[in-house]
Amino acid sequence: MHTKDKTKDAYIDMIKAQIDELNASMHKLEAKASEAREDARVKYREEMDKLVHQSKLAGAKLAELRAATGDAWQAMVAEMDKLRDAFTHSFNYFKSQV
């Protein structure tokens, strides 16, 4: 296995672990938010829908990254990092509201 392949695999594993952790935490918060007052639950549902959308985008980009060959995957790293950072930021905001 080439060094580039090891780097790619390590990066993909790291991003996948971070996304998986965010998704698990998101589901825990969703359960907590479901116990809130009715008016708060509506707001939480809207925020949760945004998080689910960002999770799907990150998962799709991760699949693209995994399928990328050669140096193409390196060009996608910055975009993947932005998606992960946006998902993390949105999650942290939602967490602060619950």
> What pLDDT score does 44 carry?
83
HEC letters along 7-30: HHHHHHHHHHHHHHHHHHHHHHHH
Tens-level pLDDT at each residue, the chain (98 residues): 555 677 888 999 999 999 999 999 988 888 777 777 777 778 888 888 999 999 999 999 999 988 988 778 888 888 899 989 998 998 888 888 77
CA distances from 46 to 18, 23, 64, 77 (A): 23, 16, 27, 29
Please tell me the pTM assigned to this model. 0.74
Q: Domain-by-domain residue ranges, the chain?
A: 3-97
The per-residue b/e assignment along 9-20, b for 16 or more CB within 10 angstroms, e otherwise, is eebbeebeeebe
Q: How many CB atoms lie within 10 A of CB 91?
A: 21
> What pLDDT score does 93 carry?
86
